[in-house]
Amino acid sequence: MARSISASLEIEKNILQSQGMMTLYEVQVQQAINATPDIFEYMAAFNESVTYFKPGTASTQVYTAAPIGRNDLEQDDAGTSPSLSINIGAADQVFVSYLENNDALRGNRVRAVTVPADLLTNASACLIDTYYIDGAIIDHDKEIAVFELTSKGEIVEVTVPFRRMRRDQCPWKYNASDCLASSVANQWVSARADRKCAHTKSDCASKDNVINFGGYPGIGTRAISF
C-alpha cells in the first residue's frame, strides 16, 4: 500500500548525498495494556542520544542511545501476518526486568520512527511504523532481548472470514442455511412467502433477517487504513 510522506522527507530521501536516515523507537512498557498513564521507553539505534519528537506529536523527546538491531520485515506468505524482530542490548538489565515482570511485554505497542538525520527539527519529516509485541526472549550469552513484533490484529486474535467480502452485496444463497431467519426459530427463509432476494442490506432488513446479512458495510469505498 502506498504511503504519503511530507514534502520535506520526500526532498531529503531524493538527495544523493545526505547524513542518512535514523531509526528511533518508542516502546510501551507498562504491565497493564490499558493502564493510564502510558509508560514508554524511548531509544535511538545510534551511538549517542538523539532529540526528536514523540511520534505524531510536537512534543520533543530524548531518545537514549541503545544497541538495537532489526531484521527485515517478513511479508504475508500463505496467510501469515507480517512480522519483525528487533534486538535490544540488555546489558543494563532494564529490559530483562520488563520482560520477567510484565509477561514479556506481550501486547504492548512499539513504534519505529524513521527520520533523516538532517531533519531532526521537523516533527512531520518522518515515517512511523506501528507494531505490537507478540513475545520476547532473553539471550543471556549475547546479552540481548529479542522482541517478536506483529500486527495488532494478530495480537488480539482477530479472525476474518476466508472468503471475498463486499460492502453492499450479500453472497449467501437465499434458500441456504446461511439465510436462517432471525425471527423464526429453526426455519429457513425459503419458507416465507417472499422467495426472491436482491442480496442487499435493505432487502435483507425487509425480511427481518439483517442479522444474517453476508455483506460488510464497514468496508470503505476508497481505501482501508490499519
The three cell numbers of residue 179 are: 439465510
**Burial label, 1 (beta-carbon count in 10 A; 0-12, 13-18, 19+):** exposed
Q: How is residue 205 written as a grid cell?
A: 432488513
Annotated domain spans of the chain = 7-155, 162-219
Q: Characterize 49-84 residue by residue with b for buried, 16 or more Cβ atoms within 10 angstroms of its Cβ, and e for exposed.
A: ebebbbbeeeeebebeebebebeeeeeeeeeeeebb
Hey, is 8 helix, strand or coil?
Answer: helix
Q: Return all residues near 34 (Cβ < 8 A) that are at least 6 apart.
A: none
SS3 (DSSP) at 177? helix
Evaluate whether 171 touches 181 at the Cβ level (below 8 Å): no
How many angstroms separate the CA atoms of 119 and 10, rounded? 12
Per residue of the chain (226 residues), give pLDDT as tens: 456 778 887 777 777 777 788 999 999 887 655 556 678 989 999 989 999 999 989 999 999 998 888 877 665 555 556 678 888 876 566 667 777 777 888 888 999 999 999 999 999 999 998 989 888 888 777 778 888 888 776 666 666 666 677 778 888 877 666 676 544 555 555 555 667 788 888 888 887 788 888 888 777 555 544 4
**Model confidence, pTM:** 0.63
Which amino acid appears at position 123 of this protein? A
